Amino acid sequence: MSKVNAASRSAPSVEAAGRPQSAAYRLIRDLSIAEFAFVMATGIISAGLWTIHADLISRILLVISVAAYVFLGAVHLMRIIWWLPRILSEIVGPNGFSFITFTAASNVLSARFSLADHTTTASILLVIGVTSWIVLGYGVPLGMIAHAKRHTTLDPVNGTWFIWIVGTQSVAVAAASLADAFHNYPLEAFAGICWAIGLIQYLLLAAVEFARLLLRRIRPSESIAPYWVFMGAAAITIFAGAHLLQLRQVEHLILPDVVESLSMIMWSFATWLIPLLLALCIWRTFKRHRQIEYRTEWWAIVFPVGMYGVASRELGLVNHEHWLIDLGSWDAWLALGVWTAVVLMLIVHEQHIRWARRIRRGVPDRPANGPSAA
């Protein structure tokens, strides 16, 4: 029997009976795993604001990110229970790396709780993050490699593939944060190893991504926003490297001078990418002639903006470069502004959906035999 039929058997009986589906049912069925990018973006902006002593706003954003994490986690757990074959088919698809947003969200929140010395909560989130990183970090690429109908061209390559690196480096950041709190050398070593793995992953995917952009045409339906993760992956690599430089015993594993030099090189490259990505966004907006409206992919821009700021500030602290510290501090407010703009777009988008539903409900159905006699 086909996967569709298998999914139907595991789904609630309302679908099998053919009855109208509720809004809650459709939400659970269709919710994208990429929504965890909202948690990533909100969590890292909360961390950035905490470091510049904007405590109240930081705490508010932390509460929002935790609530979203719990809600999305519950919804996707139900999706796994009801539509496991559908989930597995999504994992081996071109956007399979989007599932690692769950890993990154878990570790970003872990690092944020470490900042506030909530080490127990941070440890639980790190365990969740590492477990999902092992499962998805191997499962997604292996599934794509072994898939019988996989593409043999560069066409499926997109910006979401860099979430693989973001997931790896988020483990390094969370582990380094807890290692600093516990003074635990195994955690320090684990963070250093993850940072090195993520660095190699970045170099490999960067070559593939640039080849995709230069050699293959960008499809009309394709968005540029996920390509911002290209810069976000570089930024979190810098952030992880800066965390490693603050640990005392990691120098037995990786030379601090190597980490510092590579982090500065990555920062230079990430900064170079920003004008390129802005130009691509402007070009794409005018080419598609589409109104700017809310889409989940906007969080793929918010997270890199926030991560660039905290990475710049942390690198400035370890390098004693005050201009980098100032840049990171200003970026925290810029990231908050971008986050607010996207949230406002989300509110307007939801309001338009509600108005459209009310209008549809308010228009009477036309008689089957033609217009009324009125």
Q: What are phi and psi of 369, to 5 degrees?
A: -100, 25
> Does residue 101 or residue 219 have the better pLDDT?
101
* pLDDT at 101 exceeding the cut of 50: yes
> Does residue 82 or residue 221 have the better pLDDT?
82
pLDDT category at 119 given cuts 50, 70, 90 is very high
* Angle of the 3-10 helix axis to the 55-82 helix axis, nearest 10: 110
* Angle of the 36-51 helix axis to the 101-115 helix axis, nearest 10: 20
| pLDDT digits 0-9 by tens, 245-260 | 988 777 767 888 899 9
At 181 the pLDDT is 85
Closest CA to 79 of 28, 19, 134, 155: 28
Residue 351's H or E segment, with its range, is: helix 322-362
Find all residues with CB under 8 Å of 13, minimum gap 6, and list them. Answer: none
pLDDT category at 99 given cuts 50, 70, 90 is very high
At 13 the pLDDT is 47
- What is the rounded average pLDDT of the residues 322-350? 92
Mean pLDDT of the chain: 85
Instruction: Give the residue extent of every domain in the chain.
Output: 3-12+30-359
- What is the rounded average pLDDT of the residues 133-152? 83
HSE-CB of 210 using CA atoms within 13 angstroms:
8
DSSP annotation of 22 = P
- What is the rounded average pLDDT of the residues 180-209? 91
- Are the C-beta atoms of residues 67 and 89 closer than 8 Å to each other? no
Domain 3-12+30-359 has CATH 1.10.3720.10: no
pLDDT category at 17 given cuts 50, 70, 90 is very low
Rg, Å, the chain Cα set: 22
* pLDDT at 45 exceeding the cut of 60: yes
